[in-house]
A and B are shown apart, each in its own frame.
Chain A
Amino acid sequence: MNWEVVIGLEVHLQLATRSKIFSGAATEFGAQPNTQACAVDLAMPGMLPVLNEQAVRYAVMFGLGIGADIGLRSVFDRKNYFYPDLPKGYQISQFQAPVVGRGEFEIQLEDGSTRSIGITRAHLEEDAGKSLHEDFHGMTGIDLNRAGTPLLEIVSEPDLRSAEEAVAYLKTLHSLVTYLGISDGNMAEGSMRCDINLSLRPRGSSTLGTRAEIKNVNSFRFVEKAIRHEIERQADILEAGGQVVQETRLYDADRDETRSMRSKEVANDYRYFPEPDLLPVVIDEAWVESLRASLPELPAAKRQRFISDYGLSTYDAGVLAASRPLADYYETVVEGCGDAKIAANWVQVELLGQLNRGELELHQSPVAATALAGLIRRILDHSISGKIAKQVFEAMWAGEGDADTIIAARGLRQVSDSGALAALVDEVVSGNPAQVAQYLAADEGKRKKLAGFFVGQIMKLSKGQANPQMVNELLNQKLAAAGSDGES
């Protein structure tokens, strides 16, 4: 049968606050276990939560970024369950009145087309700690550094139809939240974790099939693989006449498979109720407006501006606007060199190529945007050719200095002096009488091809630094003169 895939994603986004959502403990990643857990995080008796205003600000910024309804009165609830890495025995979350209501945003697919994906809601909650099962000889270690880290849980509508769309959604989301500066988006450190709700239905059907939830997938690649695997698994079941069990599954990256974690029939009753230790969060309309006014230009708007102002293709604009640092880098290059298209080429081909080869992040690039602009200026003012520029760029990458220094040190400046070029032309023309005779004997059509031989020789003699346009002109004059000499 022909199945339609229906996917909704829940993304747990770690917000980039310096302290936790309900305590003053630091949120920095990688500290020694339990060194960033205060009495509140440890749920010591009598300790009370105090809401971190910055977490609310970030959540509202996200809501504004997707054009969502902002909950002017949101409520924290307790979600009750026992687990050793959940010190209070409940997680403080938002259930009935989230801070961000319905919104939507556009995702861009590989082929350049776009789709609008609905966001059901986004709510604030605290992260749990970590259980460590290794190195404790049959016991479990608990690290509560992460307990209380602010999370924004972003719940999508079941609007996604394929693994590609899911990944595009996540990439767009990643781009948005890093633009907003509300999360570092560091997937490897768990800043963006994803639960996948997936079901199949016969194409054309409007009722949803039974879904399975795949928990805690933390990279774009794993999301794609987990979805592909899960589609296959469910299709096999349905095609064999079976039924999908509603359950929670875990993606095992090592084996590239999902397996059952627990069945929803025995699911926890979380006994949600309003958290009595916190008052409802009441947000002022004016405060929301001031946040709206301070939002940076967002990826979609930037992409559009790159297309209309710089004349870039949709694809190029998409690549360059995908991350804020890259877009900023690109715009600095444009500003420094004045040619948006050449700048786009250099950033995408040379810069990104070098970064990929070196497995570097943009901020680690040895060539600053202003330095790259300096190099492009030398192409534009004909000091060097594009080909030489690539050599210069490599030298810049290797740390040999800026473009002008390298051009000077290596003597790469293009020769445009007509006297010097004329001497070269003379040398080549007089050194190859046979080819000159052949040229003169040839008709107009063949002459062009034969002229290439002389140009090649001249460029070789100049180590590539001769101004090719002037060489052509001088050569034509010289050969024409040789022809009239011969006739006379």
Chain B
Amino acid sequence: MHELSVAQLSLGLREKQFSSLELTRRYLDRIRALDGQYNSFVTVDEEGALAAAAAADARLAAGETGPLLGIPLAHKDIFCTRGIRTSCGSRMLDNFVPPYDATVTSRLREAGTVMLGKTNMDEFAMGSSNESSFYGPVHNPWRPDCVPGGSSGGSAAAVAARLAPLATGTDTGGSIRQPAAFCGITGLKPTYGRVSRLGMVAFASSLDQGGPMARSAEDCALLLNAMAGFDPLDSTSSELPVEDYSAGLQQPLAGLRIGLPREYFGQGLDAATGERIHAALALLEQQGAKLVDISLPHTGLSIPTYYIIAPAEASTNLSRFDGVRYGYRCTQPQNLHDLYTRSRQEGFGDEVKRRILVGTYALSAGYYDAYYKKAQQVRRLIRQDFLDAFDAVDVIAGPTTPGPAFALGAKGSDPLAMYLEDVYTLAVNLAGLPGMSVPAGMVDGRPVGLQLIGQHFQEARLLNVGHQLQQASDWHLQAPAGGEQ
């Protein structure tokens, strides 16, 4: 059952081959049996899941047929869930139980999904390895000595290990795509504004975007259908109507122009990874797509630009965690200053503190023009690179990451080496574009991801290309060993 696609699960539920309760129990059993080795969940809500499954079964029995009705899933622990702790991977929110749902979780609740639990993540989504979580690192199901990627590492690992057929993630600089690549699953970061940010704990407001993670593009489309759409309570969400992302999956690729940015295939790209990417691109070419060499000249500036803007926004987004109203509060504060400093000192981990410091510095009087303002100007150039490229191509493709998953602890002490992991993904967030990672083979038993970048609001196009690749390959169907109960 746990190897079936979401479409197949949905059919099975409708045809009464199994009930949502049975399906949910299967996944809960797998989590209980297997997650000890992955640590992909920080909270498992058995009681809530079983109740939701029973409710879904009742709706199914009444003849309802929603594509996600009765389907279990996991939410990244950054999405607020009413009555269920939402920790954001931080000691700061270890005790935080939101009295409200995020728009994403509430939409998926209404769609009849069954939430199994909340997945592990880098603290406040700051990281590329899931090692900064207060709840300990997640292990890559393919290679438990390796990281699953981050920050949505728990979601990626849970889907890869078949502990959930679907998971939500968020992507500020690659946090859906990079762990999807490392764990051999499919993950889509939608266009900025496509999915509501309300109730998603903010990291960098102008970059954060929630999106679907699943084994296939087809399943991602089903999840995105339920996640996307205008939210009057998120002023940055788009009013553009949402299309049916499943509708265009079968479209042939003949004539599709795929741009390959030379900056994504140069120095820094692991050779074996590059070979896998070219092999996957060759499959697309066989289906009639044209590969076109392009240039995104400002690519090299995306890391410094991102590491000004994201920490700047984060430094003020995280000011609300002050020990006053909710969250971690130090014991026996002596005065207000002591309350602030010790609550934040003890409540936040090192990577979070590092980014708060960097961001505070970048916004300070006398530095603002040199850093934040300059970064915003460069951000426009990076965006323009893409817009210019899209004059000549329909989709841009390249590797999601410079190489496959690295060993746990390998880069923990070197933040700069860690930041370089995001070299191919950051620009997409800076430009607000949709980006997707699809499995493209293995290197030393570790998955490699092909990144597809689309024009604004052309998620359907990316899903179409991803689906066609998955029709011609079986990388997305491969399962890591150790998943037998």
Contact = CB atoms under 8 A, between A and B. Distances in A.
Would you call the interface of chain B mostly helix, strand, loop, or mixed?
loop
Interface string A72-89: 000000101010100111
A45 B197 CA distance: 11
B36 interface: no
Contact of A78 (B316, B324, B326): B316
Contact of A88 (B80, B86, B320): B320
Interface string B99-110: 110100000000
Interface stretch (A36-44, A252-260, A359-367): A36-44
B199 interface: yes
Interface stretch (A4-12, A273-281, A407-415): A273-281
B320 to A, nearest CB: 4
Given A90-B319, A277-B205, A48 B197 contact: yes
Interface in B51-106: 79-80, 86, 88, 93, 96, 98-100, 102
Interface string A135-161: 000001010000000000000000000
A143 to B, nearest CB: 12
A45 B80 contact: yes
Nearest to B92: A45
Contacts of A84: 322, 324, 336
A45 B205 contact: no
A278 B234 CA distance: 8
Determine chain A's interface SS by DSSP, over half rule.
loop
B100 A44 contact: yes
B201 A45 contact: yes
Interface residues of B, number: 42
Contact of B320 (A45, A51, A271): A45
B424 interface: no
Contact of A82 (B204, B313, B319, B326): B319
B319 A88 contact: yes
A431 interface: no
Contact of B365 (A46, A88, A269, A278): A269
Contacts of A278: 235-236
Interface string A269-303: 10111001111000000000000000000000000
A292 B110 CA distance: 45
A82 B201 contact: no
B247 to A, nearest CB: 30
A277 to B, nearest CB: 5
Interface in A1-56: 39, 42-51
A50 B233 contact: yes
Contacts of B364: 269, 271
Interface residues of A, number: 29
Contacts of B316: 78, 80, 89-90, 271, 273
A51 B232 CA distance: 11
Contacts of B86: 45
Given A78-B316, A271-B364, A39 B233 contact: no
Contacts of B198: 46-48
B338 to A, nearest CB: 13
A82 B206 CA distance: 22
Nearest to B313: A276
B201 A273 contact: no
A142 B201 contact: no
B230 interface: no
Interface string B207-243: 0000000000000000000000000111110000000
Interface in B174-201: 197-201
Nearest to A39: B100
Contacts of A142: 324
B55 to A, nearest CB: 25
Nearest to A271: B363
Nearest to B339: A84
B269 to A, nearest CB: 32
A42 B315 CA distance: 18
A273 B236 contact: no
Contacts of B363: 80, 271-273
A84 B324 CA distance: 7
Nearest to A140: B336
Contacts of B336: 84, 140
A36 to B, nearest CB: 16
A311 B326 CA distance: 65
Contact of B232 (A47, A50, A140): A50
A277 B198 CA distance: 10
Interface in A211-227: none
B340 interface: yes
Interface in B305-353: 312-313, 315-316, 319-320, 322, 324-326, 336, 340
A49 B320 CA distance: 14
A88 B236 CA distance: 19
B360 A271 contact: yes
Contacts of A46: 79-80, 98, 102, 197-202
B406 interface: no
Interface of A: 39, 42-51, 78, 80, 82, 84, 87-90, 140, 142, 269, 271-273, 276-279
Given A46-B200, A87-B325, A279-B235, 20 more contacts: A44-B326, A45-B96, A46-B98, A46-B197, A47-B198, A48-B233, A80-B316, A80-B363, A82-B319, A82-B340, A84-B324, A84-B336, A90-B316, A269-B364, A271-B364, A273-B316, A273-B368, A273-B372, A276-B204, A276-B236
Interface of B: 79-80, 86, 88, 93, 96, 98-100, 102, 197-202, 204-206, 232-236, 312-313, 315-316, 319-320, 322, 324-326, 336, 340, 360, 363-365, 368, 372
30 contacts: A44-B326, A45-B80, A45-B86, A45-B88, A46-B98, A46-B198, A46-B199, A48-B234, A48-B235, A78-B316, A80-B363, A82-B322, A84-B336, A87-B324, A87-B325, A88-B320, A89-B316, A89-B322, A90-B316, A142-B324, A269-B365, A271-B316, A271-B364, A271-B368, A273-B316, A273-B368, A276-B204, A277-B205, A277-B235, A279-B236
6 closest residue pairs by CB, A with B: A89-B319, A276-B205, A271-B363, A276-B206, A46-B199, A43-B320
